[in-house]
Amino acid sequence: MIPADTPIWLAFLLVSAAMTVIVAVRYFLACGLFALATARVRPGLYAGMRGQIGKEIRWSMIAAFIYGAPAGIVFWLWRHHGYSLLYADFGAYPLWYLPLSVLIYLFVQDSCFYWSHRAMHGSQRLFRLAHSVHHESRPPTVWTAMSFHPVESISGAIVIPLLVFFVPIHLAMLGVVLTAATIMGVVNHMGWEIFPRRFVHSPLGQWVITASHHERHHEEYRCNFGLYFRIWDRLCGTDRGLSARLTSQREPGAPAQAKSQDKALR
Ligand SMILES: [Zn+2]
Ligand SMILES: [Zn+2]
Q: Do 106 and 159 contact (CB within 8 A), yes or no? A: no
CA of 29 to the centre of ligand 2 (A): 24
Ligand nearest the Cα of residue 225 is: 2
The residues spanned by each domain of the chain are: 8-249
What is the distance between the alpha carbons of residues 262 and 66, in angstroms, rounded to a whole number?
42
CA of 154 to the centre of ligand 2 (A): 16
Per residue in 220-247, pLDDT (tens digit) is 999 999 999 999 999 999 999 999 898 8
CA of 135 to the centre of ligand 2 (A): 6
Give me the pLDDT at residue 258, please.
Answer: 42
CA of 70 to the centre of ligand 1 (A): 23
CA of 245 to the centre of ligand 2 (A): 18
Question: Per-residue confidence of the chain (266 residues) as pLDDT tens digits?
Answer: 677 788 889 989 999 999 999 999 999 999 999 999 999 999 999 999 999 999 999 999 999 999 999 999 999 999 888 999 999 999 999 999 999 999 999 999 999 999 999 999 999 999 999 999 999 999 999 999 999 999 999 999 999 999 999 999 999 999 999 999 999 999 999 999 999 999 999 999 999 999 999 999 999 999 999 999 999 999 999 999 999 898 887 766 665 544 433 333 33
CA of 8 to the centre of ligand 2 (A): 38
Give me the pLDDT at residue 248, please.
Answer: 85
CA of 101 to the centre of ligand 1 (A): 25
CA of 106 to the centre of ligand 2 (A): 19
What is the distance between the alpha carbons of residues 242 and 240, in angstroms, rounded to a whole number?
7
Ligand nearest the Cα of residue 56 is: 1
Any idea what the Cα angle at residue 175 is, between residues 213 and 16, rounded to 5°? 105
Residues in Cβ contact with 238 at an 8 Å cutoff, skipping those fewer than 6 apart: 118, 222, 223, 224, 225, 232
Per residue in 45-56, pLDDT (tens digit) is 999 999 999 999
